[in-house]
C-alpha cells in the first residue's frame, strides 16, 4: 500500500517491474489516479481483514467483513490466474523482466493472499 502511494506521488523506484511489457513496450501507463485507487483498495483490504479478525468494528458490520474477505479471496485468485496473456500463472508473454517477477513473486503472492483470505473468511472466530 505504501509503495503504491510512493508511486502515485511520482516515485520511480521499482516501477520498471510493475507493468507487463509486450514487444519491449509497457502495455499501459498507470496514472497517478489509478495508482491512488489501487492504494485505497489495498487499504480497504487491510480494514476488511482487521474487521474479520475482530481487531476493529462491531457486530453490526460482521456481514460486511465476511463478504468483503471472501471478495478479497476471489480478487486475489483471479489476479494469480491472470488474463492468460500478460500476467498470472497462465500468461503466454514470457521472457521479460515483468514476466519473471510475475512468475516468481507477484502471482505466487496473490495465490497465497487468496488462500489466506479464504481461510480467514471460512473461519468463524472473531478474535475476541
What SS3 class is residue 98? helix
Q: Is residue 128 over pLDDT 50?
A: no
Mean of pLDDT values over 8-32: 86
**Cross-strand pairs, 74:** none
Mean pLDDT over the full length of the chain: 90
Q: Is residue 58 over pLDDT 90?
A: no
The C-alpha cell that represents 64 in the structure block: 460486511
Answer for the pair 30, 19: CB distance below 8 angstroms, yes or no.
yes
The C-alpha cell that represents 29 in the structure block: 501507463
List pLDDT tens digits, range 70-118: 999 999 999 999 999 999 999 999 999 999 999 999 999 999 999 999 9
pLDDT score of 49: 95
Q: Is residue 14 over pLDDT 80?
A: no
Amino acid at each position: 500500500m505504501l509503495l503504491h502511494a510512493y508511486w502515485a506521488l511520482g516515485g520511480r523506484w521499482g516501477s520498471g517491474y510493475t507493468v507487463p511489457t509486450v514487444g519491449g513496450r509497457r502495455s499501459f501507463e498507470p496514472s497517478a489516479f489509478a495508482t491512488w485507487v489501487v492504494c485505497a483498495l489495498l487499504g480497504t483490504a487491510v480494514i476488511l481483514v482487521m474487521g474479520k479478525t475482530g481487531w476493529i468494528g462491531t457486530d453490526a458490520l460482521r456481514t460486511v467483513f465476511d463478504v468483503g474477505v471472501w471478495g478479497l479471496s476471489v480478487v486475489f485468485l483471479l489476479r494469480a490466474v491472470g488474463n492468460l496473456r500478460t500476467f498470472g500463472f497462465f500468461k503466454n508473454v514470457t521472457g521479460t523482466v515483468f514476466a519473471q517477477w510475475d512468475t516468481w513473486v507477484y502471482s505466487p503472492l496473490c495465490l497465497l493472499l487468496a488462500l489466506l483470505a479464504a481461510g480467514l473468511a471460512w473461519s468463524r472466530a472473531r478474535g475476541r
